[in-house]
Chain A
Amino acid sequence: MDQSTPAISIDRLTKRYGQTAAVSGLTLAIPQGSIFGLLGTNGAGKTTTFKCMLGLARPTEGRILFEGKPLEPVLFERLAYVPERCALYEWMTGAQLLEMQRRSFARYDEKRANELMDLFALDRKKKLGKYSKGQQTAMALVLAFSIHPDLLVLDEPAAGLDPVHQRHVLDLIIGESAGGATVVFSSHQIGQVERAAERVAIMHRGTLRLAGEVEQLKADVKVVEATFDDEAPSLNGLAGDPSVGQIQRSGRLLRVYVRGNGDEIARKITEHRPRSVRVLDQNLEDIFLTTVATSTPDVMER
C-alpha cells in the first residue's frame, strides 16, 4: 500500500435527512498512521460523518474511500468502531461479548482483551445491562482495541469515563497510532484532542470550517488580548485589517484573533490606552471556539 494514499478520503460528502443537511459538501483526507481529531458542537455532523464512513448511513452525495477503495465488509476485519451511544447487547455478560468478538474477528487477541478488561476494571461475569454508562464505553473500547485494528473510528470514546480511564483511552489511542494504526476520533474534551491529535478538522452545522495540522493551526493565529479601565472600545478600524480574524468584546476585555505575529495589531490597540496588552499563542480550544463562533461577539464570552 502506497503510504501517500490517505487511509480515508472523503469527497464532497453530503447527507440529508429530509430537508435538513446533517453534513454538507465535506471533503477530508486522513493520512495513514495519523491521529485525526474531529471537533464540532452538538449537531455539527460528526456522528453522521462517521456513520456514512462506515456504511451505517448512506451518503446522499459524495463518496468515501478507504486506502483508495470503497468500503467492503472484509475491511471490518481490521477496522474498529466505538459509537457515541454504546450499543452493546445488554443481555450478554462481558465474557460472552468477548467470546462473540473472538468468533467474529481473526485478529482478536485474547491476552490483549484480558489486559484491557483488567485496565478498565470490568467484571466479565456481569451482564452488560448492569454496567454503568462509563463501563459500557470501556467495554466497547476493549472490543475495539482487542483486534489490533489498522483503523480506529472512535466517536466520543471517553464519554462517561472518569479522568483516570480517560487518560487510559488517550494512552491507548497514542499507543495504537505508534504501532501504525490510523485513529479518527471525536471528542468534546478538546484538551484530549490537542494532546493526541496531529491533525484536526472542525465541523459546524454540517460543514467543514477548518482543517489542518494542530501545531500549524496554533502557529497561524495569535490572540491579542487587551484590558481597559472602562468598556473596551469597538475599534472598528481593526475589522478592515486583512490579518484580523475575529474581534471579541466583553466588558473591559478585548480579544483580537490575528493571522501572523500580532505585534502590529497590539501596537494599534495600544494607541487606545489600554491597561494591558499581551500577545498570546492560541490553544486548540481557542481555535475551536473562534471557528464555530457566530458573528455576534458576545457569544464568545466565557
Chain B
Amino acid sequence: MRYAQTLRVVNCLKWLVIVLAALYVFIVSVSAANGVFAQLHSIKSSDFDIPVPALFALAAFVACVIGSRFGRSLSEENEDHLPVAWTLPSSRTRTLLTIMSVDGLGILATIAIYLALSALLIVTFGVTKYVVLPADTPIELARYIIEPFAFYALLMALTASTGRAGRGLVGWYWVGGVFLGLLAASPFIPNPWHAIFNVIDFINPLAYGSYSSNGGHVSVVVNGSTQALTYVGTLTPAMDVVALLTLFAVGMTLALIQWRRLEA
C-alpha cells in the first residue's frame, strides 16, 4: 500500500511544483515589468518586515489545499479498490497508518516546497534583510505545521466511509470551514448566534491558520479577517497547538473506526 500511496502523493506534488514554478515566473515577470524590484530596494528596513511565521502561515494554507487531495485517500480506496487494498497481507489498521504516514510526509513536503518558493522569491527580490524572527516564532511554527494535519485528519474522518461522494464532501468541507470562520468573525451576527458560531469554530482547523503582525507600518494578515484574528487571539498560541493536536487525534481516531467498520 505504501507504494501506491507514494505514487499518488508524488503525482500530486509534481503538479504542485509545476503550479508554483509557474506562479514564480508570473510574479517575477509582472514585478519586473512594473518596477517593483527598484521600489523594494528603496524601502527602509524599519518600514517593512517579513515575519517567518507569516511564510509558514501561507505554507500551511497551501498544505491544507493539498491536504484536501490527500484527505480523501480512504474514500478513493472505497471507489471499488477495497478488494485490492484489503487483500494485501496487512491489517486494515496498518494499511490506514501506512496511508496516513505517506500523506503526512506529503503534507510536510508541501510546506517545504512552498517555503522553498518563498525563499526563492525573497532572494530574487533581494529582500532577505527584511526577514525577521519574532519571539513567538517556535510556537507559531508548531501551530502552522500542525494545522494542515488537523485539517487532513478531520477530512479523512469525514470521507473514510464514502466512495465517490468523498469528492463532493471535500468541496463542502472547504465551504463549511470558510463560511463558519466568516460567521464567527462577522460583527453583524447578533448574540447568542455569534457566540455559538465562535464555539463551533473551535473545531474548524482553518480558523487556526490566521497570522497577524504589525511590523513597522505594514500589517501582514494571512488567511482570515482581522476580526477572526481577534477571536482566535483569545487562545494563546500554545492552546491553539493543543486544540489542533486534539482535532488531529479525534480525526485520526474517527477515520480509523470507520475504516475498520467499513465493508466492501
Known A73-B89, A73-B90, A76-B87: A103·B3 in contact at CB below 8 Å:
yes
Whole-angstrom CA separation of A151 from B81 in the bound complex = 21
Query: Is A3 part of the contact surface with B, judged by Cβ < 8 Å?
Result: no
Distance of A74 from chain B, by nearest CB (Å): 6
Interchain CB contact (< 8 A) of A87 among B2, B7, B83, B89: B83
Q: What residue in chain B is nearest A74 (Cβ atoms)? A: B89
Check if B3 sits within 8 Å of A54, measured CB to CB. Answer: no
Contact A87–B86 (Cβ < 8 Å): no
Residue of A with least CB distance to B84 = A87
CB-nearest residue of chain B relative to A106?
B89
Decide if B89 touches A104 in the complex (CB within 8 Å): yes
A75 vs B87: C-alpha distance in the bound complex, in angstroms?
A: 9
Q: Does A292 contact B (CB under 8 A)?
A: no
Is the beta-carbon distance between A100 and B4 smaller than 8 angstroms?
Answer: yes
Choice from A56, A74, A88 contacting B264 with Cβ under 8 Å:
A56
Please state if A100 and B263 are interface contacts (CB–CB under 8 Å).
no
Instruction: Assess whether B82 is interfacial by the CB under 8 Å rule.
Output: yes
Complex CA distance for A91 and B7, rounded to whole angstroms: 10
**In contact, A92 and B91 (Cβ under 8 angstroms):** no
Q: A54-B87, A88-B84 are in contact. Are A103 and B263 (CB under 8 A)?
A: no
A77, B263: Cβ atoms closer than 8 Å: no
Q: Which residues of A contact B3 (CB under 8 A)?
A: 96, 99-100, 103-104
B88 sits at the interface (CB 8 A): yes
Cβ < 8 Å to A, chain B residues 1-52: 1-4, 7-8, 11
Contact check, A57 vs B7: say whether CB atoms are below 8 A apart: no
Q: A57-B263, A76-B88 are in contact. Are A87 and B80 (CB under 8 A)?
A: yes
Pick from A56, A76, A91, A92: contact of B89, CB below 8 A. A76
A202 vs B12: C-alpha distance when bound (angstroms): 47
**B91 to chain A: closest residue by CB:** A73
A79 near B263 (CB under 8 angstroms)?
no
| Cβ contacts under 8 Å, A105 to chain B | 88-89
A89 to B94, CA, bound (A): 20
Q: Among B1, B2, B8, B86, which residue has its beta carbon within 8 angstroms of that of A56?
A: B86
Q: Let me know if B86 and A92 touch, CB within 8 A.
A: no
Which residues of the other chain, B, contact A58 by a CB distance below 8 angstroms? 263
CA distance A100 to B3 in the complex (A): 6
The answer to whether A56 and B90 touch across the interface, beta carbons within 8 angstroms, is: no
Task: Give the distance in Å from the alpha carbon of A77 to the alpha carbon of B88 in the complex.
Answer: 7
B225-264 contact mask (Cβ, 8 Å, vs A): 1 or 0: 0000000000000000000000000000000000000011
Highest count of chain A CB atoms <10 Å: which of B2, B11, B87, B90: B87
Q: How far is the CA of A91 from the CA of B11 in the complex (A)?
A: 10
Closest CB of chain B to A4's CB: distance in Å? 27
**CA–CA, A9 and B204, complex, Å:** 49
Which chain B residue shows the least CB distance to A85? Answer: B80
Chain B 69-98 interface 0/1 with A at a Cβ cutoff of 8 Å (1 = within):
000000000001111101111110010000
A89-B84, A96-B7 as given contacts; A51 in contact with B264, CB under 8 Å: yes
Counting chain A CB atoms within 10 Å of each CB, the highest count among B3, B11, B82 belongs to B3
Whole-angstrom distance between the Cβ of B78 and the nearest chain A Cβ: 10
A297 within 8 A of B: no
Please report B residues at the A interface, Cβ cutoff 8 Å: 1-4, 7-8, 11, 80-84, 86-91, 94, 263-264
Q: List 26 A-B contacts (CB under 8 A).
A: A51-B264, A55-B86, A56-B82, A56-B86, A57-B264, A58-B263, A73-B91, A73-B94, A75-B89, A76-B87, A76-B88, A76-B89, A81-B83, A81-B87, A83-B83, A85-B80, A87-B84, A88-B84, A89-B84, A96-B3, A96-B7, A99-B3, A100-B3, A104-B1, A104-B89, A105-B88
Measured CB to CB, the residues of A under 8 A from B are 51, 54-58, 73-77, 79-81, 83, 85, 87-89, 91-92, 96, 99-100, 103-105
Query: Which 7 A-B residue pairs are closest in the complex by CB-CB distance?
Result: A56-B264, A83-B83, A77-B89, A76-B89, A87-B80, A73-B91, A57-B263
Given A57-B264, A96-B7, A105-B88, 4 other A-B contacts at CB below 8 A?
A83-B83, A87-B82, A91-B11, A96-B3
